[in-house]
Amino acid sequence: MQLVQGKHVTLRLVELEDAQFIVTLRNYAKSQKFLSATSSNIEAQERWMRDYKVREQEGTEFYYVIQLQDGSPVGLIRLYDLKLDIFSGGSWIMAPGHPHQIAVETVILLYDLCFDQLGYEKILLQVVKENQSVIRFHKRFGALVEREDERCVYLINTSSTMKGPREKFRKLLGLAEPE
């Protein structure tokens, strides 16, 4: 689970040295609207990350930095609530100014990891209702609305419903099939 290599991006597990990047990205004004609040205090982020690293070692949560092939960090994505056949994906954020295909490749890599390598059958996605572009994005990958509350839409996607869309987007981006 250490590294997930793609054509244009790599997913690598976060390290304490990433605290400044995480704080900066999560506190970007446009992003704050759709994510849970994050302190701007680097030491507070490092404390959270030390606790997270325990969960990572236990195999209950994985938090990735999305980076370009030159090592430049451009985003974050997290897997949590890992259960027998379902997991939750979220805390997904991309730095402004990067092409849409980077986000698409990130999701393909994440789903290849979770469905093909780890054997999960379903993903639960919690998206703030106002974040319509992300809801549409996940629906393009076959996600269906499971339920809603006052703030969020909960989407479910499965390995089988995502197979076709993943293949389609993989071809559009010129990505290799997973090994």
Which residue ranges make up each domain of the chain?
3-173
Tens digit of each residue's pLDDT (9 = 90 or more) over 136-170? 988 988 899 999 999 999 999 999 888 888 888 88
SS3 86: strand
E strand or H helix that includes residue 178: none
Assign a CATH topology to domain 3-173. Aminopeptidase (3.40.630)
What is the chain's mean pLDDT, rounded? 88
What pLDDT is attached to residue 179?
Answer: 65
- Residue 119, burial from CB neighbour count under 10 angstroms (0-12, 13-18, 19+): exposed
- pLDDT one-digit tens code per residue, 89-131: 888 888 888 888 898 899 888 888 888 888 899 999 999 899 8
Position 80 scores a pLDDT of: 92
Instruction: Considering only residues 177 and 152, tell me which one the structure prediction assigns the higher pLDDT.
Output: 152
pLDDT at residue 48 greater than cutoff 70? yes
